[in-house]
Structure 1
């Protein structure tokens, strides 16, 4: 068995090759973090690929991502190592030394002890999915923040504005704000031009009395004549439109990746592409867990234990350890699950009839969902309500 250890750096990586007996087959050497460097690496380590081998690198930041994809594309077996394991192996030596060349040999030793996570192309897709879904959450948070700021500005310059439109953030709603920005400007805008703004934005579908109502409301508005707020409104709308376009592109990419993965999680009624991908990718490979209880603990949805002496708390909060993104997605999934999925709806109502609060019953639904997901993924089966009673 040959072990190919690579110490990752920003500009240069260091590689060494060792066999099962601890004999160094290739002394540590540096190669650049570019195509020429990768080609040079491949030329040196290719002969060791034909026999049993395992290459490995530490999971430290993003500097090794391109190298990881390169190794997988060239059919190398790759293990991802926790830096804690490398550090523990390094501390076993009497003499305290750390440099890139020695670290590449240390990584070989860690690979030999099998203390790594085997990376595959499918697992890499899950990692890319995690980046996408987290970016979706970031864009959504930025969009909500921009919308909240917009509403604050509207409350100052035209507080009656929202009562005119049936739907916030419709094309007509945004177009009028983008063009005018305040009650004062709407009062000064000719009604014919106001009608054109609304008609063009809605493609003539919106009720024609909206511009008239806007004009009348603007005349009696208590809104402040604030040029700064008007400018901020126009710029916030530009930001909101940009964020909505970006979110649409990201969501389409998530759906495309979800269809490629074709996971059983998407057979659960009430689980959409984005929510399902977020849960799936935050969990990672299901073979990392030996039971559903470990999945629940990993997501931080297990109840904390508080015991001291003779005292043992009957009620404790959840631990909230691990990724907050997966808890957000799970709780967001709970409501549509109870609405569109008879199995989860019945379970929620049963918990409510037992005297549980809405939030507590929702937590039970989320934990049931994780148990169901664990079964579907481990057995690679589609959702069947008859098996989830």
Structure 2
């Protein structure tokens, strides 16, 4: 319409320093799609954690001994029992043949040491209370968690396709997966928009906060936490695997600990080091080589 036409002409005719505009390139649309998918993944994981916390609350009420029977939570048998019975009382009053059906697993998954007989015995001696409301919630929450898991599987498959298509050198860094690598690239955008590593450190919000008041200049401050929270979250999720799989990062982490830094602070130093390496790899299109690190 007329207003759009006037606004476009105004932007194009105005000096860049007063009213900036960006030129969209073809690859920016690919990065947009990747950003939407990786952010959706982050949001779904947060939503899943909320449901899992609510599920654990319900389990503590109706069958508090349940989690101790399993080495890990949310496996196939674990979820089958919750969906089918929902409480210790229901397990205790059910025929053993029905319970055994929950233990039937297709495929090559690891088998658990728990037996149907042991489960029923624990259910009979459980101190959990009988609550039909909690049982309904457990069944609904397990369904929600399984739905989110299916959605995450679909998203991860598409993200992996994008990652293979990108063929980015940052995937050569041990500890960075298809998802985390794609998330970092999508949040950073075109690397040519940055002229030095400190700019992406600032964009990730992991730069030390500068605080100054009158004659006082703070020496120990937290990170700014400005910029992309999704990028910052991804970096802190992968930094421990990176430290674990690379001797140089491990020694750098131990150095910061020996200097009196806390665990989280030492992680922050490693995150900034990682971002400087990522910047170099993307600028030079060079594969990661731990022998070149100092």
Please confirm whether the aligned pair reaches a TM-score higher than 0.5, indicating the same fold. Answer: yes
Verify the 8 A CA contact 2:159 2:182 in the aligned structure 1. Answer: yes
Equivalent in 223, 228, 231 of residue 323 of structure 1: 228
Equivalent in 160, 184, 209 of residue 89 of structure 2: 184
Matched, 1:262 2:262: no
Name the residue aligned to 1:225: 130
Name the residue aligned to 2:54: 149
Structure 2, unpaired ranges of 5+: none
Counterparts of 1:110 and 1:283 in 2: how far apart (Å)?
A: 28
Query: 1:201 deviation in Å?
Result: 6.4
Structure 1, unpaired ranges of 5+: 1-13, 15-27, 29-98
Query: 1:320 deviation in Å?
Result: 0.9
Please give the secondary structure, in 2, of the residue aligned with 1:279.
helix
Q: How does 1:150-299 map to 2 (within 5 A)?
A: 150-200=55-105, 206=111, 210-299=115-204
User: Which structure is richer in relative contact order (CA contacts within 8 A, separation 6 or more)?
Assistant: 2
Equivalent in 117, 134, 140 of residue 39 of structure 2: 134
Q: Specify whether residues 101 and 185 from structure 1 end up closer, same or farther in structure 2 by C-alpha distance, changes over 3 A only.
A: same
Per the normalisation by structure 2, the TM-score is: 0.94
Counterparts of 2:130 and 2:151 in 1: how far apart (Å)?
A: 33
Q: What is the CA deviation profile of residues 25-53 of structure 1, one whole-angstrom value per residue up to 9, with x for unaligned ones?
A: xxx6xxxxxxxxxxxxxxxxxxxxxxxxx
Q: What is the CA deviation profile of residues 255-292 of structure 1, one whole-angstrom value per residue up to 9, with x for unaligned ones?
A: 11011011111111111111111111111111111111
Matched, 1:107 2:11: yes
Name the residue aligned to 1:385: 290
Counterparts of 2:105 and 2:54 in 1: how far apart (Å)?
A: 26
Q: Specify whether residues 301 and 205 from structure 1 end up closer, same or farther in structure 2 by C-alpha distance, changes over 3 A only.
A: closer
Query: 1:125 deviation in Å?
Result: 1.2
Query: 1:311 deviation in Å?
Result: 1.6
Verify the 8 A CA contact 1:302 1:319 in the aligned structure 2. Answer: yes
Q: Specify whether residues 202 and 213 from structure 1 end up closer, same or farther in structure 2 by C-alpha distance, changes over 3 A only.
A: farther
Please give the secondary structure, in 2, of the residue aligned with 1:321.
coil
Query: 1:100 deviation in Å?
Result: 3.0
Name the residue aligned to 1:18: none
Please give the secondary structure, in 2, of the residue aligned with 1:362.
helix
Structure 1 stretches of 4+ moved >4 Å: 110-114, 200-205
Counterparts of 2:106 and 2:135 in 1: how far apart (Å)?
A: 20
Larger Rg: 1
More helix by share: 2
Q: How many residues align?
A: 293
Query: 1:353 deviation in Å?
Result: 2.0
Please give the secondary structure, in 1, of the residue aligned with 2:126.
coil
Counterparts of 1:255 and 1:172 in 2: how far apart (Å)?
A: 28
Q: Specify whether residues 225 and 368 from structure 1 end up closer, same or farther in structure 2 by C-alpha distance, changes over 3 A only.
A: same
Per the normalisation by structure 1, the TM-score is: 0.71
Task: Output the aligned Cα RMSD.
Answer: 2.0
Verify the 8 A CA contact 2:62 2:87 in the aligned structure 1. Answer: yes
Name the residue aligned to 1:313: 218
Name the residue aligned to 1:350: 255
